[in-house]
Structure 1
């Protein structure tokens, strides 16, 4: 079962490579055979031409005998005829060969360089050529026929075939081994990835894949490893998120239920009753705010949050926010100042933009000491418009800054109820900035303060 994929890949590679190799071998074999035949025919033509020149110089019995004698010891044969195709001399021992040849092959004219009468080694026993013998007066006085038995060529081809079969066996064997190694090498990491994804599908994200390859399989392994880490982080975040929601909902509900029971079951003075009812009202408002924040985040996560942008005159808008926030700052004995050039405007959703500024100012109030100052500074930059909210409060540890905008994240878990809030404010601010196409960044030092930068990009650039 594990080797099914490797077998498929191996067979596919084997068929393709074997097909290519067989095509190349067949082509090379034919080229070599044809080349060998062509060489033998050329050699036969050259030998016949040599005899042609000799006989044209002296066409007598002694010279004809001498030419015939030369071929007796060679692997070729010669036959000399007169102009009427009557055999004058031949190196053949069997006269029937001469008669059969003269009956099967006829020609009209012979070029000076000679004529190839037959080079088909499969249909005939000999390949042969002919040269015309011409005297000094330009008259044809005879012909020189050269013969080469195809047995020698078949022997060479047979030997060549043996070498090719041996080579083919070696090549196929090596190809099979190499393809097997390659296919296993490719499939092995895939099987590990399959096993890892199987564990991930069951909720086990503690997978470890080798990270040594520098190819596409290595990229895939790293992607799966990253996905496992991200899913593990999301799983932990989800569990913590659900636990935190349960805690955040349970706490105000406990207050509401407890004080409601007290008001209902005990005979309280009007003063104590008003006190407890005020606590119930405060906790109900906190519960409502938490639910509203959760609904906002859900809409933002599902891209169902509608942003209705319009031009906002920043100086006037921030002045209104300042007036709205003054009581909270006054109660904490803090000051708020706005530094905004009068000519600056911003294209944004007024309601959501106010939510961003108020959430950030609210954080500054919660985490700054009495007597502190918070500054809202607005400036135009080359990429758009920059809004900075600067306080000199408690600051944020460097290790917490990357996570400070995560849902329900708090720098100190023990301070949950002390400073109030649900831990969703910065998460909502981040999502709202993303919805506006802007960026948010935080710079902070412990016990020195925090600067939050909101960059609204110029949509024309």
Structure 2
């Protein structure tokens, strides 16, 4: 009884068997009672018919005729006068005398039932009065042997037993099929969850329909896919971080050994120390980004929101970044309406825009233009950063917000990025309850759009 299919099948079988047994007994009892009542009604009607004939001609010939008719039928008749003596009978008097004694004197015009106990008695019986000119002249007793009723009940029992056997057999077969159909998907789900618990996320569950089992299978499949994705992400993350940490450390160690062990000219010494300093800054930036992502993942990243005057905020960003664009012979155009406010963390919002503007500088050529546009629509703040640089290939766009993902792997170190800037941007935007989207075409440029809720105008 440890298998779910056996438990379910047993419970279903007991419930259905109990219901079928109750219904069969109820139906059997109702049919038997109905059949016996029909026999008594028919017997009473036959007696009333005989009494009607005798009321017209109550003489020996008519009495003999009635008795003769019943002697050929499966019923019997006994005709008595008002005093009680038997005038004629189609059945031996010794067999029915006890039933005549049960009759009462006050018999209604439509007659009455004398004996209806078919289970224990030999006969069922009715009586009908013979009334002539308002006076009762005698009685017509009708008898039917209960053997015919018992025979009928036995045939009915046989039919019920056969029907019950077929019904129970079909019920048993259907329950087995349904139990298997219900349990098999659960067994597959159990096997899938066992594989997941062992770290094997390559499971595939069939669709079982649009029901609770189907929803459960879909949820397990989604869980397996997500865990498989997270496992792959973790492996990629560990591989990437190992590479990112190893590279600057290798540079720092190698050039430090050169500076330490060799007699170098001041020019060479300064060159190597500059490289060591750059790699140290790169390593410091990487560790800072990793700490930021770790805080975000642990939900310990604090967002301290306050009301920001976006006009003044964007003007300060323009002042800070314009020299960097001019140095690369690029232009930065800023557009922001007056009296527009947003509730956000100023330092984190600045970090978001700085990262996107920094990417615009890295992936644009001299003479290109970058536009920072701030606007409001339906109480939302829209921040767009668009450039006409080299753009992002279509196959890379779905992955640019992944950690350590770089569009140009070969130029990543030359461009100085860690591959985590856009990942941090997305997490910061989500932490503010906003959304970020990207539209890009190669050799035409890239546009990032950030939408924050809660714009205010004053």
TM-score band w.r.t. shorter chain:
over 0.9
Query: Which residue is equivalent to 2:29?
Result: 30
Question: What per-residue deviation string (whole Å, max 9, x for no partner) do you get for residues 196-225 of structure 1?
Answer: 332222222223333474554444434333
Query: Which residue is equivalent to 2:231?
Result: 235
Equivalences, count: 456
CA contact 2:335–2:373 (8 Å) conserved in 1: yes
Aligned to 1:346, what secondary structure does the other structure show?
strand
CA contact 2:310–2:341 (8 Å) conserved in 1: yes
Query: Which residue is equivalent to 1:450?
Result: 446
Seen in structure 2, the aligned counterparts of structure 1 residues 78 and 318 have a Cα distance that, compared at 3 Å, is same
Seen in structure 2, the aligned counterparts of structure 1 residues 85 and 457 have a Cα distance that, compared at 3 Å, is farther
**Alpha-carbon offset, residue 115 of structure 1:** 1.3
CA contact 2:114–2:124 (8 Å) conserved in 1: yes
Query: Which residue is equivalent to 2:59?
Result: 60
1:276-295 equivalences under 5 Å are: 276-295=272-291
Query: Which residue is equivalent to 1:173?
Result: 169
Distance in 1 between residues matched to 2:288 and 2:200, nearest whole Å = 34
1:62-461 equivalences under 5 Å are: 62-93=61-92, 95-103=93-101, 105-107=102-104, 109-136=106-133, 138-211=134-207, 213=209, 215-382=211-378, 384-458=380-454
Distance in 2 between residues matched to 1:55 and 1:179, nearest whole Å = 64
Distance in 1 between residues matched to 2:338 and 2:250, nearest whole Å = 49
Distance in 1 between residues matched to 2:155 and 2:34, nearest whole Å = 15
**Alpha-carbon offset, residue 130 of structure 1:** 1.6
Seen in structure 2, the aligned counterparts of structure 1 residues 32 and 245 have a Cα distance that, compared at 3 Å, is same
CA contact 2:391–2:444 (8 Å) conserved in 1: yes
CA contact 2:185–2:208 (8 Å) conserved in 1: no
CA RMSD of aligned residues (A): 2.2
Aligned to 1:191, what secondary structure does the other structure show?
helix
Distance in 1 between residues matched to 2:126 and 2:60, nearest whole Å = 22
Question: What per-residue deviation string (whole Å, max 9, x for no partner) do you get for residues 86-109 of structure 1?
Answer: 33222212x222222134x24353
CA contact 2:99–2:114 (8 Å) conserved in 1: no
Instruction: Specify every segment of 5 or more residues in structure 2 that has no aligned partner in the other structure, as ranges.
Output: none
Structure 2 length-normalised TM: 0.93
Aligned to 1:19, what secondary structure does the other structure show?
helix
Return 149-158 or 185-194, whichever deviates more: 185-194
Instruction: Specify every segment of 5 or more residues in structure 1 that has no aligned partner in the other structure, as ranges.
Output: none
Aligned to 2:51, what secondary structure does the other structure show?
helix
Aligned to 1:111, what secondary structure does the other structure show?
coil
Seen in structure 2, the aligned counterparts of structure 1 residues 438 and 135 have a Cα distance that, compared at 3 Å, is same
Return 397-406 or 205-214, whichever deviates more: 205-214
Seen in structure 2, the aligned counterparts of structure 1 residues 387 and 142 have a Cα distance that, compared at 3 Å, is same
CA contact 2:99–2:115 (8 Å) conserved in 1: no
Question: What per-residue deviation string (whole Å, max 9, x for no partner) do you get for residues 92-135 of structure 1?
Answer: 12x222222134x2435333222123322213222221222222
Return 210-219 or 450-459, whichever deviates more: 210-219
Question: What per-residue deviation string (whole Å, max 9, x for no partner) do you get for residues 116-158 of structure 1?
Answer: 233222132222212222221x222222221111110110110
Query: Which residue is equivalent to 2:8?
Result: 9
**Alpha-carbon offset, residue 347 of structure 1:** 1.3
Aligned to 1:413, what secondary structure does the other structure show?
coil
Seen in structure 2, the aligned counterparts of structure 1 residues 291 and 108 have a Cα distance that, compared at 3 Å, is farther
Distance in 1 between residues matched to 2:371 and 2:455, nearest whole Å = 26
Aligned to 2:138, what secondary structure does the other structure show?
strand
**Alpha-carbon offset, residue 10 of structure 1:** 2.2
**Alpha-carbon offset, residue 389 of structure 1:** 0.4
Distance in 1 between residues matched to 2:164 and 2:262, nearest whole Å = 102
Distance in 2 between residues matched to 1:455 and 1:290, nearest whole Å = 28
Query: Which residue is equivalent to 1:49?
Result: 48
Return 383-392 or 218-227, whichever deviates more: 218-227
Distance in 2 between residues matched to 1:117 and 1:280, nearest whole Å = 123
Distance in 2 between residues matched to 1:187 and 1:413, nearest whole Å = 50
Question: What per-residue deviation string (whole Å, max 9, x for no partner) do you get for residues 395-414 of structure 1?
Answer: 11111111111111112322
Distance in 1 between residues matched to 2:167 and 2:394, nearest whole Å = 63
Return 305-314 or 438-447, whichever deviates more: 305-314
**Alpha-carbon offset, residue 43 of structure 1:** 0.6
